[in-house]
Amino acid sequence: MLEQNSGLGRGLDALLPDTEDDAVTEVAIAAIEPMPDQPRGRFPERELLELAHSIRQHGLLQPLVVTESQQGKHQLIAGERRWRAAKLAGLSNVPVVIRSADEQRYFELALIENLQRSDLSPIEEAKAYTRLMETGHETQEALAKRLGKSRSRIAQMVRLLNLSAEMQAALEQQEITTGHAQALLSQEGQMREQLFRAIKEKNLTVRQAESWGTTIRAPKIVTEKPSWLHQLELDLGLKIDRQGSNEKGALTIRYHSGEQLEQLVKRLAGKDGG
């Protein structure tokens, strides 16, 4: 399972205006531009409208963090969600703290700010880590130390980009969870595709998805079983051992948890809602 976000505070003092020493000034909202390749790509309309309503009532309480002016424009380092909501609220000027940083630092600060204040989606986070390592020419371990995160967390997230575009989209749209995604990564090729379909069509739990590889085999591997028996394994999501022949024998269904047993009994009793 993926660990929870932790240790995100390192570097935030250089990003967020939390002390009286920071000089807060006002600039025209039209003079601020979002940062290209901002780590967070999704801004749900409902959240923005709610924040815009709050800004109309109380003002923008947290200053934005921007770069020094270049050709009359400031670039956002942190606070794009607040900037978008302020535009919806009709503000002409907004409070800002001006920072000086290079392009790599901009991206790192934006990543930290988003992780701390409004979580990135798993795929957005994975892409952000990948870009930071590519542009900074550093290892997962070095990046983990700079961001105050564990190397295993970064490795787990980056591996999500090995999923197909369809699987990544399902994760982005919350049709599957990161737990399901990790289970998918434990499979390859046809088995991964079969598991993905089963997760969506049969609404498998993460535990069921994790045990899939030990309870079922791909057709190309299990060639000695009759097609009807293999199809039964696919339908139940469980491994079935056969003793005897078509005329006489026994079938043994293997399960690995009480939850699997309960689901099996419901299926056999015709109470699975199918």
| pLDDT mean by block of 10 residues, the chain; 274 residues | 39 44 81 72 76 87 82 82 88 86 66 63 84 80 84 91 93 91 91 92 90 59 64 80 80 80 79 52
Active site residue 233: no
pLDDT for the residue 59:
85
Q: What is the DSSP string of 179-210?
A: HHHHHHHTS-HHHHHHHHHHHHHH---HHHHH
- pTM score, two decimals? 0.50
Rounded to 5, what percent of the chain is helix, strand, coil? 50, 15, 35
Q: Which residues pair with 212 in a beta bridge?
A: none
pLDDT for the residue 104:
62
pLDDT for the residue 2:
42
pLDDT for the residue 173:
86
pLDDT for the residue 168:
92
- Compute the distance between CA of residue 235 and CA of residue 38 in angstroms, rounded to an integer: 43
Name the catalytic one among 3, 20, 80, 224: 80
- In 231-248, which positions are buried (b, 16+ CB within 10 angstroms) versus exposed (e)? ebbbebbbbbeeeeeeee
Q: Domains, the chain, ranges and CATH?
A: 12-120 (3.90.1530.30), 163-268 (1.10.10)
Contact 106, 77 (CB under 8 A): yes
**In three state form, how does the secondary structure of 248-265 look?**
CEEEEECCCCHHHHHHHH
pLDDT for the residue 159:
93
pLDDT for the residue 148:
80
